[in-house]
Amino acid sequence: MGSGLFLAVGQAIHLAGPAIAVSFLIGVSIMGLEVAALAEMAAADRERGSFLAFAHHALGPGAAFVGGWIFWFSSILNISAEATAGAIFTRLWFPQVPIFVFSVGYALVVVGINFLTVRGFSTVEAWMSGTKITATVLFILVAVMVLAGVLPTNHYVGTRGWYAMPGFFPHGIKGILAAMVLVLFSMSGTGVLGLAAPNAKNVERTMAKTIRNTIISIYILYVGASLALTSLLVWHKVPIAQSPFTEALRMLPWRWMVNVFNLVILLAVLSAMNAGLFATDRVLATLGRIHAAPKVVAQESRGLPRMANLITGILFVLVSGLAYFLPKTAYLYLVTATGFQALFIWGLIIVTQIVYRKILLRAGKDLKFRLKGYPYTSVLALILIAGVIATAPLAPHELIALEISVGASLAFLIAYLPIRFKRLRQRHEK
């Protein structure tokens, strides 16, 4: 939970209106299928333990190479978006300071944190992440008290904002679909749940319960926050250049609430950045171990892949500086590009699961956890993912982001071709 909820949701509401609730319903459905597919593979094959290893085994080294580099690149865009969001939040207090100063500054700080020991990382992350759900729940409760007349406030829209001006579906199905990339960006980090399957006791019951509870919790929190925003603010006036949450709280007579909440969401995006960079470093190290990157990036010192940290950190800082050139649109481009890249990865995970289940069953593996409804649910997930990607023309900024994502994917595919030809030549010479 990071800027996908606390900032990007403003743009999503502009596209879908109060019907953003329907977008979230579609989004959590796709997310649930992807997490369950990943959990099935992880629970059955604990030794491999990552979607890259599963893809390598089921689809070949080419899929692992391209998928791994797309994931790494997508993760850098993701954490750079969080850094930019943190800079936008900070401008509440320092409006004269350019966004890129804070975005680059936060990137440098988080890179430094990731050079600490793993214990130091976990301590910082635990301290930073505890505020996320609490802040969202409290905001929803504040909105409920405002609507009930318990809290004094200036003019607010009220529940009529859900069905008036010009209705719950102001842009129809087009608006619901146009908001999907932003919705899925806000859920892009949930795949880690699937990888936790090998460590679960009574994996079938535990994972089924965890995935179900995660889907329900995300839907309630995200929809609750969105409906709270559209009951306090006119949906088409929800700000996109700052957090809509702090703008909604301005109508309360207590200015300190705005500052406290802004600090909370700033910590939330710093937490998302911290965890995201931690994972991204290790993806690059994994690419080194499977010979999809120079071996040097896989080297570790005291449990830390320091060379992977350095390379990822440098690119992270550079991409965070995009706000220097595009101060008004850098965040939106980063978010949508990340969303499309995440969809490519989710699609790869589903395709891998379809093939991998057959491999596991042939090997006599015990599928302790299964994606229900296979293969129909797997195919449904692919159709939904393809459908979301096809919505790019509905919003101009999303079409540009899709072009960036497709271009990056093609570049990684082309980069793999020399490796493929080399392996074929070596095999032929033998």
* Residue 266 CB partners (closer than 8 Å, separation 6+): 86, 89, 90
Tell me which residue has tokens 């911290």: 274
Q: With residue 268 as reference, give the H or E element that holds it.
A: helix 255-289
CB 44 within 8 A of CB 360: yes
Please confirm whether the linkage preceding 375 is cis (ω < 30° from 0).
yes
- Of 11, 28, 17, nearest in space to 222 by CA: 28
**Amino acid identity for residue 198 in this structure:** P
pLDDT in tens, 100-119: 999 999 999 988 887 776 55
Count CA atoms closer than 13 A to 59's CA, side-chain side.
21
We find that the CATH architecture of domain 3-429 is Up-down Bundle (1.20)
Alpha carbons 386 and 266: distance in angstroms, whole number: 33
pTM exceeds cut of 0.85:
yes
Report the pLDDT averaged over residues 295-311.
82
Q: Which of the 8 DSSP states describes residue 242? A: S
Residue 47 confidence class, pLDDT cut points 50, 70, 90? low
Strand partners, 301: 304
Residue 196 confidence class, pLDDT cut points 50, 70, 90? low
> What pLDDT shows up at residue 170?
86
